[in-house]
Structure 1
C-alpha cells in the first residue's frame, strides 16, 4: 500500500515538474532511532537555498550546525540544494527510499509530499520535544500539510508578500503609497517615465505569478478548488488574474520587458536600482541593500486590495510563504533528527537564522529581538498574522502552481507583445490549465 501511495502522489507532482536525472544521497547514518547514544552519529541535511548564494547559506548555517554538534555530539553533513533542483531531489528520494535524515521543503508542497508517506508525521511526542504547537505562528503552522492530518514538517522560515515602495521617489513626487488597485494604477502611472516604471514584476516566473494569482483571485471571491476539483476558470478567478495582468496591459505601469524576468532576482534588482518605484515581494530588505539601495529609501506597506470588494471577496493580500523542515521516514536516526528539528526551531536559532536571511521567525518567542521590531518587519508580521492564507493544502497543489503559473506567464507574455487581455482571453488560458490538470489525473 505504501508503494502505491508513493507512486500515486509522485505521479501527481511529476505531472507538474520534470524529474531531473539526480537522486537523493544514500543514508550514511546507522543505528536505530530509539537506541544508542548520540555521540558519533551523523545526520544528513538538505537545506534549501535561502541566501544570496549557496556559499552564503553555508556561511550562515555552518556555525549554527557546529553549535548543535557541540551541544549534542551529533554531527551534521550539510548540503545546500538550489531551488531549481530541490523538488526533483526530494521526489527521487521518496521513490528510492534513500534520502537525507532531515530536509527543507517549500511549505506549498506540504500536502503533495505528505501524500507520498515518505516523511515522519509530526505527532504529539515530537511536538512536545519542540515546545508545543502553540509556539508556532498560526498561519505558518497551517501550511504544514492537509487539514486533519499530523504535519509533514515544522516551519523554520516564515514570510509573506507586501508592497515595497521607494520612499524618496514617492516623497519627491508628493505621493502616498497605494492602498487600492485604482490608487496603484494612478501612482504607478505618475511614477512611470524617463526610463523608470511604476512597478517591477517577475513576469517570466510561473512560481511568482501563481502566488499573486492566488491572492488576486481570493480578493475577488475565487474558490480555486471545489473539494479536490479545480475551478480555475471561475468568473472570480478570471477577474483576479485579469486584474493582475492589467497592471501591464491596461495600467501600463509594468515594463513589457518584465515578461522575460524569470530568475527570481531581476525585478528586485530593478527596484533596488531605481528602475521601478514599487515591487510586490517577500521580505528582502537585506537583498535590496546588497543591491545598492539605501535603507532609508525602503518603505513597506500591505499589497493593495479592491476599493469595493465584491461579494464573497476575502480580505487577503498574501499567501503564507515559508520553509518547513521535515524528517525523512527512511532515516535511521529519527531521534537525533528530532533533536535537530528542536534546535532549528528554538528561539535562539530562529533569531540567528531569520536575521541573517531577512525572513520572519516561525516561533513567537523569537520576536523579542530588536531586528524583528522595525517598522517594515512589523508590516510583514501583521500581514502574515491577519491577511495571509496558505495555498490549498491538497495533494494536487503543486499541479495548481505549475499549470496556473504557466497560464498566467503566457498571459503576461501576450500582454507584453501587445495582445488584448480581456475576460475571454484570461478564461481561455485558465480553462486550458484546468483541462491539463484534469487530464493529469
Structure 2
C-alpha cells in the first residue's frame, strides 16, 4: 500500500488549512515566522553554488501545497527518509484547497513575508514568482549539485526554467528557479468489463466507445472529465482536446493568441468537447474536478474517465469503491491507458516543482537547498517512486520501483514524450481565469461554445498585449 492509498489521507489533509483565507490573514503576522521587509534577511536573490553550512539546531522545513494525497505522501516520506541524514529536521507540508493554492502563495509573496520555505509551484507559476523577485535563482547550485543529464529535458525545463524560449524546451543558458518534485499527466481510466480489455486508440473511437457503453448500460454515463471553473480544471480539458485535434494555444514567437486558439482546429476541439463529450457526462457534472471524477469511477457510474495520475490512488481502495471488495477485484474491472491520439499526439503536463522563498531565513534556505540536493539523488527518487510519488529522473521512471508501484505508472513513462504545457508566463493566472470561466460557461450552456472561444482569444490577447513584452517570452 502506498502513501496515496492509505485510508484517512484525505481526512488528515482536510484538517490542514481549510481555506486560502487562513493563509492570507496570517500574512500580517509573519515577522516572527520567517522573512522580513528587509531583503537582507533572505540572503539575497541567488543561491550559492555550494551548500551552505547547516545548523544542528532543530529546524522545521515548511512547504506550501494544495490538498491532495501527494502532499501527505511527501510529508510522510520526508520525515521518514530525510531524517536519516538530517535527524534535527522536521518537514511540514501545509495545504490549502486547490482553488486557493496560487493566491495563498502569491499573497505572501506580495507582502514580502512567508511562513513557508519551499513553495510548490505549478510550472506556469514560475514566471510570476521570478518577475516578482520572490524565489531564489538556483542555477549555480544546480550546476554544482544536480545531475541535470539524468532528467528528461522537458521536465527539467517545465518545473524550473525561466524564461522559456519555447514552452517546455530546455535551454542550457536559461536560469533555473526550481527542481522537479512530482511529475504528472492525465490517464484514461476505463471499464474493462464494459468496453473490453483494449482501450480506444483515437479520440473519435473513444467517444464512440463511450457512447455505445452508455447506451448498453442504463444508469452508467459514457465519460467523466474535469469541467470546474476552479483552478485550471475546465481549461486543461479544453487544451487537451485542442492539442489532440491539432490545435495550438498560441504562437509564442509572435506573441499571438487571437487567431490561433480559435482557428479551425480550435473550433473543432470546442465542438467535440461541448457537443460530443458533454452529452456523455453525468448530469450535474458541470463543476466536477478531481474528487468528483474519482468518485464516479469508483462507484461504477462511468465507462471512461480522465484524471491526473497522482490523484487516483484511492480508486483501488475497496472502502471507496463499489467495483470490488479487494484491489484485485477492482483491477479486474479498471484499466489504465495513455490518452488516445487523433490529429496530434498530445497529453497535458501536470505535476510541479519545488522552489525556495526569497523571504525564508538564511538557515532555512540552506536547509531547503540541502533537501533538494538529497531529494534529487537517484536512490531517493526511486524510493519516492516506491512510496507513491511520480519522479522526474529518467532512471527512476524506468525503474522497477516506479513501474511496479502502481498499475498506472507506465502511463506516465509512456506519456513523457507526448507532454504539452500551457503558457509559462507571468500573466498565467489571468490567462487561465479567462479560459476556465468561458470553457465552463460553454460546457454548462451559459454561453455559445464558439462565442466562448472567441472571447477567450480576444481577452487573452489583450492580457498579452498589455504586458508590453508578450508575457515575458524571450
Normalising by the residue count of structure 1, what TM-score does the alignment of the two structures yield?
0.80
Change (3 A) 1:435 1:104: closer
CA distance in 2 between partners of 1:151 and 1:42 (Å) = 26
CA offset digits 1:217-270 (Å, max 9, x no partner): 233232424444433433332322332222345xx32224211324x3111110
Structure 2 CA distance, aligned partners of 1:355 and 1:338? 23
Indicate yes or no: 2:294 matched with 1:268: yes
69, 72, 90: which one aligns with 1:76: 90
Aligned to 1:88: 103
Distance 1:18 1:235, change over 3 A: farther
1:252-331 alignment, distance < 5 Å = 252-262=279-289, 264-283=290-309, 284-290=311-317, 291-292=320-321, 293=323, 294-306=330-342, 309=343, 314-316=344-346, 318-331=347-360
Question: Counterparts of 1:411-422 in structure 2 under 5 Å?
Answer: 411-414=442-445, 421=449
**Structure 1 residue aligned with 2:140, among 124, 127, 133?**
124
Which of 28, 52, 62 is matched with 1:45 structurally? 62
SS at match of 2:355: strand
Q: Secondary structure at the match of 2:272?
A: helix
> What SS does structure 1 have at the residue aligned with 2:237?
helix
1:239 aligns with 2:253: no
**Counterpart for residue 392 of structure 2:** 362
Call closer, same or farther: CA 1:136–1:265 in 2, change over 3 Å. same
Distance 1:369 1:48, change over 3 A: farther
What is residue 188 of structure 1 aligned with on the other side?
210
8 Å Cα contact 2:184/2:412 also seen in 1: yes
- Matches of 1:31 and 1:305, distance apart in 2: 47
Kept in 2, the 8 Å contact 1:403–1:436? The answer is: no
Map of 2:415 onto structure 1: 383
Structure 2 match to 1:12: none
Q: Compare 374-383 and 387-396 and name the one that shifted more.
A: 374-383
1:22 aligns with 2:25: yes
**1:121-146, Cα deviation, whole Å (9 max, x unpaired):** 121333432x3211223322121232
CA RMSD of aligned residues (A): 3.1
- CA distance in 2: counterparts of 1:136 and 1:234, whole angstroms: 35
> Which whole-Å deviations, capped at 9, do the CAs of 1:287-340 have from their partners, x for residues lacking one?
21123241232212222232xx2xxxx431x12110201011223123222101
Contact 2:227 2:234 in 1 (8 A): yes
Give the equivalent residue in structure 1 for 2:470: none
Residue-by-residue CA offset, 1:82-125 (whole Å, 9 max, x unaligned): 23333222112222221222221122322222222211112133
2:366 and 2:374 mapped to 1: Cα distance? Answer: 13
CA contact (8 A) 1:43 1:101 kept: no
Structure 2 unmatched runs, 5+: 1-19, 36-40, 165-170, 324-329, 468-474
Q: What residue number does 2:78 align with?
A: 64
1:120 and 1:71 map into 2 onto residues whose CA distance is 24
State whether structure 2 residue 243 is matched by structure 1 residue 218.
Answer: yes
- Alignment of 1:203 with 2:246, yes or no, is no
| Distance apart, 1:185 and its partner CA | 2.2
Superposition deviation, residue 158 in structure 1: 0.2
Deviation at 1:31, TM superposition (A): 9.7
Q: Verify the 8 A CA contact 1:155 1:325 in the aligned structure 2.
A: yes
Cα distance in 1 for partners of 2:54, 2:401 equals 38
Q: In the alignment, which residue of structure 1 is the partner of 2:471? A: none
8 A contact 1:217–1:240 mirrored in 2: yes
Distance 1:142 1:74 in 2: 32
SS at match of 1:361: coil
Q: Contact 2:34 / 2:359 at 8 angstroms: preserved in 1?
A: no
Q: Does 1:394 align with 2:425?
A: yes
Matched residues in 2 for 1:37 and 1:185: separation? 56
Once residues 35 and 126 of structure 1 are traced to their aligned partners in structure 2, the CA distance between those partners, rounded to angstroms, is: 14
**Maintained 8 Å contact 2:442/2:452:** yes
Distance verdict in 2 for CA 1:388–1:289, change over 3 Å: same
Q: Is the 8 A contact 1:233 1:434 kept in 2?
A: no
In structure 2, the CA distance between the partners of 1:354 and 1:80, relative to structure 1 (3 Å rule), is: farther
Q: Is the 8 A contact 2:139 2:177 kept in 1?
A: no
Q: Is the 8 A contact 2:199 2:337 kept in 1?
A: yes
Unaligned runs of 5+ in 1: 1-16
Provide Cα deviations, 1:29-67, integer angstroms capped at 9, x if missing partner: 999687654211524322424644xxx844652452354
* 3-state SS in 2 of match to 1:300: strand
